[in-house]
Amino acid sequence: MNPQAKLIFVASLLLGTTITISSNHWIMAWAGLEINTLAILPLISKSHHPRSIEAATKYFLTQSAASALVLFSSMTNAWHTGQWDITQLSHPTSSLILTSAIAMKLGLVPFHFWFPEVLQGSPLSTGLLLSTIMKLPPITLLYMTSQSLNPTLLTTLAILSAAIGGWMGLNQTQIRKILAFSSISHLGWMAAVIVYNPKLTLLNFYLYTMMTATIFLALNSIKVVKLSSLMTAWTKIPSLNAMLLLTLLSLAGLPPLTGFLPKWLIIQELTKQEMIPTATLMSLLSLLSLFFYLRLAYCTTITLPPHTTNHMKQWRTGKPTNILIAILATMSVILLPISPMI
């Protein structure tokens, strides 16, 4: 892709995200979501492969339907209350429609079918944007309307997302699909607590973004998209694979790594809200996700013959991307152990 065109699309992506997260009016928020959708489509289909075109089409149709539901929800609320302010979502029907629309945009169960297919058809760099930046505007809308949302509906979506995200990721061999189901599972944890402690949801999202960015950048650096390729990646760049191993374990939520912190706090908050069965069920369902995280981590530590490393590019610590990966990986691993000192 032309560098100037890529710059325009990335700038439009940042503009749409900024408009949505900083707006108080529903029309402005909707416009930001539409700019985001239009900006990411060329980045998904830039390889001109049939799978990429299919992924872009699925993404466009899904996001267009979700944006239409957001607009319909805001119009219904304005019709009954006379308010276009995002924080004044008080009509029950509007709240229900908005929750469904945001669930569709994020890829929460049962609106998750598009996300693994779109991520599989996208390049790793675009997959990073789809898994992180593109989820910030919908989560911001949930944050701003959290006082008006239905707790029972969100808890149901959260449990289903944690279950399906862990279950469907068990038999996958494509790393991008595994990361897609990982995202669905983590979104379930965020949805479970957003009504009771919205700031905790944002903390979970920020930590998830940091760990996912580390994994996508590392995989993009060693050009790996399948488990069979990951098995031979240890001989290419051992130091990068060591960081990838620790980040995967952190994303799995194993103590004392950083990824354990949000799950710990969410379980504590659910317990405070006297939702002990929900907290117990979410904890048990996270064991499903733990299985394929451990499988990914195991694949980064083994090698298959022949050990051909002559043609492979070695790790260079001076490259800006590699320095960024090292910084993100360090934060993805040690934030929880050093938090008492902070």
CA distances from 243 to 17, 173, 238, 323 (A): 30, 21, 9, 12
**What pLDDT, on the 0 to 100 scale, is given for residue 134?**
93
Half-sphere exposure of 247 (CA within 13 A, CB side): 29
Packing angle between helix 320-338 and helix 260-272, nearest 10 degrees?
A: 40
**Is the separation of the CB atoms in 157 and 190 below 8 Å?**
no
Task: Give residue 305's pLDDT.
Answer: 46
The pLDDT, as a whole number, for residue 234 is 67
Q: Whole-prediction pTM value?
A: 0.90
- What are the average pLDDT values for consecutive 10-residue runs of the chain, which has 342 residues? 87 94 92 94 88 93 94 93 88 92 92 92 92 93 91 93 91 89 94 92 93 91 82 72 86 87 92 92 90 84 52 53 81 75 50
HEC letters along 112-136: CCHHHHHHHCCCHHHHHHHHCHHHH
Domain ranges in the chain are 150-341
In this predicted structure, what is the pLDDT of residue 185?
Answer: 94
DSSP letters for 140-167: HHHHHTGGGS-HHHHHHHHHHHHHHHHH
CA–CA gap between residue 148 and residue 33 (Å, rounded): 21
Please tell me the predicted confidence (pLDDT) of residue 254: 85
